Amino acid sequence: MAADSTRSIRSALAAAAIALTMAAASGAVHAQATTLPDMAAIAARFAPTVVNVSVTGSRKVSTADDSAADPGGEPDGSPGSGDADAMRDFLRNFQQRFGGLPPQVKLPVRGEGSGLIVRADGLILTNAHVVANAEEVLVKLSDRREFRAKVLGSDKVTDIAVLKIEAGALAFAGLPALGSALARTPANIPRVGEWVLAIGSPFGFESTVTAGVVSAARRSLPGNGWVSFIQTDAAINPGNSGGPLINMSGEVIGINSQIYSQSGGYQGLSFAIPIEVAQRVAQQILATGKVRHARLGVSVQEVNQTLAEAFKLDKPAGALVAEVVKGGAAEHAGLQSGDVVLAVNGHPVVMSGDLPAMVGLAQPGEVIELQVWRLGARQTLQARLDDSEQRAVQAAGAAAAAAPRSPEPSGRLGLALRPLLADEKRATGLTAGLVVEGVSGAAARAGVKAGDLLLAIDGRPVTSAEQADAAVAPSDKAAALLVQRGASKLYVALRLE
């Protein structure tokens, strides 16, 4: 009987504990719910500062070469791009059937996007691609007032442009704006998972507000190494370009710029230019009317786990230098192929795209401090940055067809190698290196190809097949091969088994 009473007491206590736990959890959830940000208030505050940008202009298009016909404006699927495509097709068909057209004709360009009023005197930030080829720019406020605007300057590299409402309109404009500062800068890098709002004119639907979260804080995109984008799943569509991305503290953290889509519309991947990038570009435009970008003079690639092991790094991080431009800032600073840049001016380089983004924000002539990993040790280098104008890279020649054959691929690397011939050295500009004539095993699995030129293993130059074999110790689990393929150099990570 006493045992039954004890069990009853224990059951009652357990039930009470569960009830208290559930009540506490419920209270915590309720407390969290009551502290959610007021998105309506944030939208109401910022919507008046977001404008619709309409552009009209013209672009010269070749009637003979279809590849040169680029209507400009926003990406495919934006308002106006279809009209230019249709006119281009019409002109091409007319030329084919009747002839008589000049080599180039002017096609009308119409574009539409968004912009953000950042100063009460009518200064507006938007995307460079929104106002490309613009001859007339019209901005429309949320209260439906319309004003003409002038393009003060634009930068295709970062896709930022600065507009100014014409002075004559300001006497009666009463423009809403963010304040005297160019824009509100967040105190910290956006946190993955935090809520954000986007405001713009998707497909011409003005003052549209969408919400989502930050999906990634620093995203590099192919073909655009100068910007480390904020990725979000907030719905962005053609027409949103140039509008703000706002966090729940009421801070503009980015300017919406691109979407990743196979349909031309939103598919969950949107990208915004960080506001600090937009600020620097706008400040240069206002000061000088143009934008200059610094250049280090390297090509870099990501450090994966295998490359990290090959270079004896604690973890995959940094930007692996695959090639150093001859005569550039990097070469003058002593940077070498095989170095891994870990930090710039004390700021960590986590992904390879961080390096060009950091350099791009600097000014030509500025001296930066690079922390690099070389042959298992840290080094510090000083680099005075060049201007970003591109320099020609000498193309590398292919191996001679009549060159003597080397043995079948063998060894742990799985490579058949031979030295460069004299004419191959002249054609490539190389003084040393080995021609890959066959691949198998680890090299084949890693994607090494016959015809590649092997230059170094784990950062150490190789000049003979015997030296290449000796570069890999029996205990090594990975190796990093620097190869030249055509005009490009890259590191290939081999997993040795």
Determine whether 347 is an active site residue.
Answer: no
CA separation for the pair 357, 158 (Å, rounded): 10
DSSP string, 425-486: HHHHT-SS-EEEEEE-HHHHHHT--TT-EEEEETTEE--SHHHHHHTS-TT--EEEEEEEET
In the numeric block, which tokens belong to residue 179?
Answer: 């304040």
Q: Give the residues across from 196 on adjacent strands.
A: 212, 247
Percent of the chain that is helix, strand, coil (3-state, to 5): 25, 35, 40
The answer to whether 230 and 245 are in contact (CB under 8 A) is: yes
The answer to whether 149 and 164 are in contact (CB under 8 A) is: yes
CA separation for the pair 339, 319 (Å, rounded): 8
Start-to-end CA distance of the chain, whole Å, equals: 69
Q: What is the residue whose two structure tokens read 């970003």?
A: 388
In the numeric block, which tokens belong to residue 172?
Answer: 């009666």
CA separation for the pair 70, 92 (Å, rounded): 13
The answer to whether 110 and 28 are in contact (CB under 8 A) is: no
Q: Which of 155, 159, 386, 458 is catalytic?
A: 159
Q: Which of 241, 337, 388, 406 is catalytic?
A: 241
DSSP for residue 193: T
CB-based burial of residue 441 (10 Å sphere; 0-12 exposed, 13-18 middle, 19+ buried)?
Answer: middle
Q: Give the residues across from 52 on adjacent strands.
A: 114, 140
CA separation for the pair 358, 340 (Å, rounded): 15
The answer to whether 215 and 232 are in contact (CB under 8 A) is: yes
Element (H, E) at 86: helix 81-98
CA separation for the pair 70, 84 (Å, rounded): 9
Query: How far lies 399's CA from each of 455, 483, 489, in Å?
Result: 14, 14, 16
Q: Which of 78, 81, 114, 129 is catalytic?
A: 129
DSSP for residue 134: E
**How distant is the alpha carbon of residue 372 from its chain centre?**
22
The answer to whether 44 and 207 are in contact (CB under 8 A) is: no
In the numeric block, which tokens belong to residue 344?
Answer: 């710039």
DSSP for residue 36: S
Determine whether 159 is an active site residue.
Answer: yes
Determine whether 241 is an active site residue.
Answer: yes
Please identify every residue annotated as catalytic.
129, 159, 241
